[in-house]
Amino acid sequence: NAGVMQNPRHLVRRRGQEARLRCSPMKGHSHVYWYRQLPEEGLKFMVYLQKENIIDESGMPKERFSAEFPKEGPSILRIQQVVRGDSAAYFCASSRRTGMGETQYFGPGTRLLVL
Amino acid sequence: GENVEQHPSTLSVQEGDSAVIKCTYSDSASNYFPWYKQELGKRPQLIIDIRSNVGEKKDQRIAVTLNKTAKHFSLHITETQPEDSAVYFCAASTGANSKLTFGKGITLSVRP
Protein backbone atom coordinates (compact mmCIF):
# COMPACT_ATOMS: atom_id res chain seq x y z
CA ASN A 1 0.00 0.00 0.00
CA ALA A 2 1.84 3.04 -1.26
CA GLY A 3 1.95 6.04 1.00
CA VAL A 4 1.33 9.63 0.05
CA MET A 5 3.34 10.51 -3.03
CA GLN A 6 4.62 13.93 -3.97
CA ASN A 7 6.54 15.11 -6.99
CA PRO A 8 8.84 16.58 -7.77
CA ARG A 9 10.89 16.12 -4.62
CA HIS A 10 13.02 19.12 -5.47
CA LEU A 11 12.10 22.06 -7.67
CA VAL A 12 14.21 25.03 -8.65
CA ARG A 13 12.56 28.06 -10.20
CA ARG A 14 13.67 31.56 -11.07
CA ARG A 15 11.72 34.53 -9.81
CA GLY A 16 8.60 35.08 -11.89
CA GLN A 17 8.24 31.48 -13.05
CA GLU A 18 5.45 29.11 -12.09
CA ALA A 19 5.76 26.15 -9.74
CA ARG A 20 3.44 23.13 -9.86
CA LEU A 21 3.52 20.68 -7.00
CA ARG A 22 1.68 17.39 -7.19
CA CYS A 23 0.31 15.16 -4.47
CA SER A 24 -1.25 11.71 -4.79
CA PRO A 25 -3.02 10.67 -1.59
CA MET A 26 -2.92 7.21 -0.09
CA LYS A 27 -5.25 4.69 -1.65
CA GLY A 28 -8.73 5.10 -0.25
CA HIS A 29 -8.09 8.63 0.99
CA SER A 30 -10.21 11.43 -0.39
CA HIS A 31 -9.07 14.31 1.80
CA VAL A 32 -5.91 16.26 1.04
CA TYR A 33 -4.18 18.97 3.06
CA TRP A 34 -1.26 21.17 2.01
CA TYR A 35 1.20 22.58 4.54
CA ARG A 36 4.23 24.82 4.12
CA GLN A 37 7.37 24.53 6.22
CA LEU A 38 9.90 27.32 6.30
CA PRO A 39 13.45 26.56 7.52
CA GLU A 40 13.59 26.05 11.29
CA GLU A 41 9.81 26.46 11.50
CA GLY A 42 6.77 24.30 12.08
CA LEU A 43 4.26 23.36 9.44
CA LYS A 44 1.64 25.94 8.49
CA PHE A 45 -1.72 24.89 7.11
CA MET A 46 -2.49 26.22 3.66
CA VAL A 47 -5.52 24.49 2.17
CA TYR A 48 -7.82 21.51 2.62
CA LEU A 49 -9.46 19.85 -0.37
CA GLN A 50 -11.76 16.99 -1.15
CA LYS A 51 -12.34 15.69 -4.64
CA GLU A 52 -13.37 18.65 -6.83
CA ASN A 53 -13.91 20.89 -3.80
CA ILE A 54 -11.87 23.36 -1.80
CA ILE A 55 -13.11 23.06 1.76
CA ASP A 56 -10.82 25.48 3.60
CA GLU A 57 -8.24 27.77 2.02
CA SER A 58 -7.85 30.06 5.00
CA GLY A 59 -4.08 29.49 5.18
CA MET A 60 -3.31 30.16 1.57
CA PRO A 61 -2.10 33.55 0.32
CA LYS A 62 -4.83 35.29 -1.66
CA GLU A 63 -2.61 36.02 -4.62
CA ARG A 64 -0.44 33.75 -6.79
CA PHE A 65 -1.40 30.55 -4.96
CA SER A 66 -4.10 28.13 -6.03
CA ALA A 67 -4.93 24.49 -5.39
CA GLU A 68 -7.11 21.85 -6.94
CA PHE A 69 -8.00 18.22 -6.46
CA PRO A 70 -9.71 17.01 -9.62
CA LYS A 71 -11.94 14.01 -9.92
CA GLU A 72 -9.12 12.13 -11.59
CA GLY A 73 -5.46 12.60 -10.88
CA PRO A 74 -3.37 14.17 -8.16
CA SER A 75 -3.94 17.30 -6.16
CA ILE A 76 -1.95 20.25 -7.47
CA LEU A 77 -0.63 23.27 -5.64
CA ARG A 78 0.21 26.01 -8.10
CA ILE A 79 2.34 29.04 -7.34
CA GLN A 80 2.45 31.70 -10.02
CA GLN A 81 5.20 34.31 -10.40
CA VAL A 82 7.29 32.81 -7.62
CA VAL A 83 9.34 35.04 -5.33
CA ARG A 84 12.29 34.14 -3.10
CA GLY A 85 10.00 34.11 -0.06
CA ASP A 86 8.18 31.13 -1.56
CA SER A 87 11.26 28.97 -0.99
CA ALA A 88 10.16 26.31 1.48
CA ALA A 89 9.23 22.69 1.84
CA TYR A 90 5.65 21.97 0.81
CA PHE A 91 4.06 18.90 2.34
CA CYS A 92 0.75 17.35 1.54
CA ALA A 93 -1.11 15.00 3.82
CA SER A 94 -4.11 12.79 3.26
CA SER A 95 -6.77 11.19 5.40
CA ARG A 96 -9.63 8.79 4.83
CA ARG A 97 -12.25 11.18 6.10
CA THR A 98 -12.58 14.25 8.20
CA GLY A 99 -13.75 14.60 11.74
CA MET A 100 -12.38 14.09 15.19
CA GLY A 101 -9.06 12.43 15.34
CA GLU A 102 -8.63 11.37 11.75
CA THR A 103 -4.95 10.64 11.19
CA GLN A 104 -3.17 12.62 8.52
CA TYR A 105 -0.34 10.88 6.69
CA PHE A 106 2.31 13.06 5.16
CA GLY A 107 4.10 12.80 1.87
CA PRO A 108 7.87 13.28 1.49
CA GLY A 109 7.47 16.92 0.53
CA THR A 110 8.58 19.10 -2.34
CA ARG A 111 11.47 21.41 -1.61
CA LEU A 112 11.08 24.55 -3.66
CA LEU A 113 14.03 26.83 -4.17
CA VAL A 114 13.47 30.16 -5.88
CA LEU A 115 16.58 31.77 -7.31
CA GLY B 1 -7.77 30.74 15.60
CA GLU B 2 -5.84 28.07 17.36
CA ASN B 3 -2.34 28.78 18.65
CA VAL B 4 -0.01 25.98 19.71
CA GLU B 5 3.18 26.65 21.61
CA GLN B 6 5.96 24.21 22.33
CA HIS B 7 8.54 24.33 25.09
CA PRO B 8 11.47 24.08 25.19
CA SER B 9 12.78 24.59 21.65
CA THR B 10 15.74 22.30 22.15
CA LEU B 11 16.32 19.43 24.53
CA SER B 12 19.42 17.34 25.10
CA VAL B 13 19.34 14.18 27.18
CA GLN B 14 21.67 11.31 27.95
CA GLU B 15 20.89 7.98 26.35
CA GLY B 16 18.64 6.02 28.67
CA ASP B 17 17.16 9.06 30.34
CA SER B 18 13.60 10.27 29.86
CA ALA B 19 12.53 13.25 27.78
CA VAL B 20 9.41 15.34 28.27
CA ILE B 21 8.14 17.82 25.72
CA LYS B 22 5.26 20.13 26.57
CA CYS B 23 2.73 21.94 24.41
CA THR B 24 -0.02 24.39 25.17
CA TYR B 25 -2.99 25.28 23.00
CA SER B 26 -5.45 28.13 23.03
CA ASP B 27 -8.71 26.87 21.50
CA SER B 28 -10.82 24.99 24.02
CA ALA B 29 -12.69 23.39 21.10
CA SER B 30 -9.57 21.43 20.08
CA ASN B 31 -10.13 17.74 20.62
CA TYR B 32 -7.37 15.91 18.75
CA PHE B 33 -3.66 16.16 19.55
CA PRO B 34 -1.12 14.26 17.43
CA TRP B 35 2.65 14.20 17.79
CA TYR B 36 4.90 13.96 14.74
CA LYS B 37 8.58 13.10 14.50
CA GLN B 38 10.59 14.57 11.65
CA GLU B 39 14.12 13.53 10.83
CA LEU B 40 16.29 15.82 8.77
CA GLY B 41 15.02 16.07 5.21
CA LYS B 42 12.24 13.57 5.82
CA ARG B 43 8.48 13.66 6.10
CA PRO B 44 6.71 14.17 9.45
CA GLN B 45 5.66 10.80 10.85
CA LEU B 46 2.92 10.30 13.38
CA ILE B 47 4.25 8.68 16.55
CA ILE B 48 1.27 8.96 18.87
CA ASP B 49 -1.96 10.88 19.21
CA ILE B 50 -4.60 11.49 21.83
CA ARG B 51 -8.22 12.49 21.71
CA SER B 52 -9.96 14.67 24.23
CA ASN B 53 -12.00 11.87 25.71
CA VAL B 54 -8.88 10.32 27.29
CA GLY B 55 -6.24 11.75 29.59
CA GLU B 56 -3.30 9.50 28.81
CA LYS B 57 -2.16 7.10 26.12
CA LYS B 58 0.91 4.90 26.03
CA ASP B 59 2.69 3.00 23.27
CA GLN B 60 5.84 1.18 24.40
CA ARG B 61 8.40 3.87 25.31
CA ILE B 62 6.17 6.75 24.29
CA ALA B 63 3.27 8.26 26.19
CA VAL B 64 1.14 11.35 25.85
CA THR B 65 -0.86 13.09 28.56
CA LEU B 66 -3.61 15.65 28.10
CA ASN B 67 -4.90 18.22 30.58
CA LYS B 68 -7.94 19.86 29.00
CA THR B 69 -8.55 22.19 31.93
CA ALA B 70 -5.08 23.69 31.66
CA LYS B 71 -5.00 23.27 27.87
CA HIS B 72 -1.70 21.52 27.69
CA PHE B 73 -0.44 18.13 26.57
CA SER B 74 2.93 16.46 26.89
CA LEU B 75 5.01 13.82 25.15
CA HIS B 76 7.02 11.48 27.33
CA ILE B 77 9.81 9.31 25.92
CA THR B 78 11.43 6.84 28.30
CA GLU B 79 14.74 5.01 27.87
CA THR B 80 15.80 7.35 25.11
CA GLN B 81 18.01 6.06 22.32
CA PRO B 82 20.19 7.92 19.79
CA GLU B 83 17.66 7.15 17.06
CA ASP B 84 15.10 9.20 18.99
CA SER B 85 17.10 12.29 17.97
CA ALA B 86 14.85 14.33 15.68
CA VAL B 87 12.50 17.29 15.62
CA TYR B 88 9.20 16.64 17.37
CA PHE B 89 6.06 18.61 16.53
CA CYS B 90 2.87 18.75 18.52
CA ALA B 91 -0.37 19.76 16.83
CA ALA B 92 -4.00 20.41 17.66
CA SER B 93 -7.23 20.17 15.72
CA THR B 94 -10.85 20.97 16.45
CA GLY B 95 -11.93 18.19 14.13
CA ALA B 96 -14.32 20.42 12.22
CA ASN B 97 -12.25 20.20 9.08
CA SER B 98 -9.32 18.42 10.65
CA LYS B 99 -6.71 21.01 9.74
CA LEU B 100 -3.76 20.74 12.09
CA THR B 101 -2.18 23.69 13.87
CA PHE B 102 1.43 22.86 14.66
CA GLY B 103 3.85 24.05 17.26
CA LYS B 104 7.26 25.25 16.09
CA GLY B 105 8.95 22.00 16.98
CA ILE B 106 11.58 20.89 19.43
CA THR B 107 14.94 19.45 18.49
CA LEU B 108 15.69 16.46 20.70
CA SER B 109 19.29 15.31 20.90
CA VAL B 110 20.08 12.04 22.64
CA ARG B 111 23.74 11.82 23.64
CA PRO B 112 25.25 8.31 23.42
Where residue B34 falls among pLDDT bands split at 50, 70, 90?
very high
Contact A41 B44 (CB under 8 A): no
Contact B102 A107 (CB under 8 A): no
Find chain B residues with C-beta within 8 A of A49's C-beta.
none
CA distance A18 to chain B (A): 24
Over chain B, what is the mean pLDDT? 93
- What pLDDT, in 10s, does the model give residues A83-96? 999 999 999 999 98
Q: Judged by CB atoms within 8 Å, which residues 48-67 of A form the interface with B?
A: 48, 55-56, 59
Chain B: residues touching A (Cβ < 8 Å): 6, 31-32, 34, 36, 42-46, 49, 51, 89, 93, 95, 97-105
Find chain A residues with C-beta within 8 A of B97's C-beta.
48, 55-56, 98
Q: Does the structure show a pLDDT above 80 at B96?
A: no
- What pLDDT, in 10s, does the model give residues A51-100? 999 999 999 999 999 999 999 999 999 999 999 999 999 999 999 876 66
Q: Confirm or reject contact between A33 and chain B (CB < 8 A).
A: yes
Q: Confirm or reject contact between A74 and chain B (CB < 8 A).
A: no
The alpha carbon dihedral of B68, B69, B72, B75 has a sign of negative
Question: SS3 letters for chain A?
Answer: CCCCEEECCEEEECCCCCEEEEEECCCCCCEEEEEEECCCCCEEEEEEEECCEEEECCCCCCCCEEEECCCCCCEEEEECCCCHHHCEEEEEEEECCCCCCCCCEECCCEEEEEC
CB pairs under 8 A between A and B: 67
